[in-house]
Amino acid sequence: MIPYSAEVFFAILAEYNSSIWPAQAVALLLGVTAVFLVARFPARAGRPVAALLAGAWGWTGLVYFLAEFSEIDFWAYGFGAAFVLQGLGFVWAGLIRRRLRFGSEPNQTVWSGAGLVALGLLGYPLLVAALGRDLLETGAFGVAPGPTVIFTLGVLLAARPAAPLYLFAVPLIWCVIAGGVAIQLGIHEELTVAAAGVAAIIVLMVSRARR
Amino acid sequence: MDRRAFLIASAAAGFGLGTSVLPASALALLGEVSREIPSTGQRLPVIGMGSWITFNVGRSEKLRRARCKVLEEFFVRGGGLIDSSPMYGSSEEVIGWCLERQGGSHLMLTATKVWTVSKSGGISQMETSQKLWGERPLDLIQIHNLVDWEVHLETLKAWKADRRLEYLGITTSHGRRHDDMAAIMAAEPLDFVQFTYNIADREAEKRLLPMAADRGQAVIINRPFQGGRLIDRLSRHPLPEWAAEIKCENWAQVLLKFVVSHPAVTCAIPATSQVEHMRQNMAAGYDPLPDRSMLQRMIAHVESL
Model pLDDT, residue A1: 85
Neighbours of A161 (CB within 10 A): 11
Length of chain B in terms of residues written: 305
- Residues in chain B with CB shorter than 8 Å from the CB of A5 are 53-54, 273
Q: By the CB < 8 Å criterion, does B59 face chain A? A: yes
When pLDDT is cut at 50, 70 and 90, the band that residue A104 belongs to is confident
| Residue A138 pLDDT greater than 60, yes or no | yes
Give contacts of A2 with chain B, Cβ < 8 Å: 53
A5 touches chain B (CB under 8 A): yes
On the question of pLDDT at B20 being above 60, the answer is: no
CB atoms near residue B24 (< 10 Å) = 18
Which residue type is seen at A58? G
ipTM exceeding the 0.90 mark:
no
Q: pLDDT class for B126, splitting at 50, 70, 90?
A: very high
**pLDDT tens, B142-158?**
999 999 999 999 999 99
* pLDDT above 70 (res B205): yes
CB proximity list for B120: less than 8 A, separation 6 or greater: none
Domains within chain B, CATH numbers bracketed:
25-228+263-285 (3.20.20.100)
Question: How many Å lie between the alpha carbon of B97 and the closest alpha carbon of chain A?
Answer: 15
Judged by CB atoms closer than 8 Å, whether chains meet at B273 and A73 is answered as no
Across the interface, do B63 and A8 touch by the CB < 8 Å criterion? yes
Residue type at B99?
L
Mind listing the pLDDT tens digit for each residue in A189-203?
889 999 999 999 999
Q: How far B229 CA sits from the closest chain A CA (Å)?
A: 12
- Single-letter code of the amino acid located at A154: G
Q: Is B70 helix (H, G, I), strand (E, B) or coil?
A: helix
Which H or E run contains B32? none
How far apart, in Å, do the first and last CA atoms of chain B sit? 34
Query: Do B181 and B195 touch, CB atoms closer than 8 A?
Result: yes
B37: left (phi over 0), alpha (psi -120 to 50) or beta: beta
Share of chain B above pLDDT 90, in %: 82
Among the ranges given (A9-13, A39-43, A171-175, A187-191), the one the predictor scored with the smallest mean pLDDT: A187-191
Residue B31: what pLDDT? 84
Task: Give whole-number Cα distances, B21 to A53, A118, B12, B134, B139, in Å.
Answer: 57, 60, 8, 19, 18
User: How remote is the C-alpha of B211 from its chain's centroid?
Assistant: 20
The DSSP H or E segment spanning B34 is strand B34-36
- Cβ proximity of B282 and B78 under 8 Å: yes
Residues of A in Cβ contact (< 8 Å) with B88:
3
Cβ within 8 Å of residue A86, ≥6 positions away: A57, A61, A152, A167, A170, A171
B52 at A interface, C-beta within 8 A: yes
pLDDT band (50, 70, 90) for residue B22: low
- Split at pLDDT 50, 70, 90, the class of B13 is low
CA pseudo-torsion sign B132, B136, B137, B142: negative
Statement: residue B25 has pLDDT above 80: no
Q: Which of B26-30, B184-188, B219-223 has the lowest mean pLDDT?
A: B26-30
A58-67, B21-30, B145-154: range with lowest mean pLDDT: B21-30
Q: Which residues contact A23 (CB under 8 A, 6 or more apart)?
A: A59, A142, A143
User: In 3-state terms, chain A is what percent helix, strand and coil (to 5)?
Assistant: 80, 0, 20
**Measured between CB atoms, does B66 come within 8 Å of chain A?**
no
- Of B56, B62, B87, Cβ closest to residue A4: B56
Answer yes or no: is pLDDT of B176 > 90.
Answer: no
B88 touches A: beta carbon within 8 Å: yes
